[in-house]
Structure 1
């Protein structure tokens, strides 16, 4: 049985600055197997975050309208 990876189309984050190299407009975002991935196309700095990690950052006193899920 093969396990196919599910990857959404990569999109650039306009106006975002890379924390690794401080370049602007070089961060791309995509979703890979239920994990959000942000990576810099210039220096390869990357960050992974799944939905459980996102839920930890929500504070009970705040109202969240929704979490962006590009599909």
Structure 2
């Protein structure tokens, strides 16, 4: 199964501080964000994404690619 990867406009990598270098994709029901410059990967499950958005209060909605 091929995974769709999308870049996150304006996002800054926490590791290398590069801007517009982060891509978002889903692998085995785990959402991952990877920096194409330094290779740093962050991941979280759907439950962690939902919990995070409820705490922040500033999220308009969650983007769920089909």
Q: Give TM class, smaller chain.
A: 0.7 to 0.9
Q: Which has the higher contact order (CA 8 A, sep 6+)?
A: 1
How many residues of Structure 1 are paired with residues of Structure 2 in the alignment? 63
1:42 maps onto 2:57 in alignment:
no
Question: Any unmatched runs of 5+ in structure 2?
Answer: none
Q: TM-score when scaled to structure 2?
A: 0.78
- CA RMSD of superposed structures (Å): 1.9
Question: Any unmatched runs of 5+ in structure 1?
Answer: 1-5
Larger Rg: 1
Larger helix fraction of residues:
2
Q: Which runs of 4+ in 1 moved over 3 A?
A: none
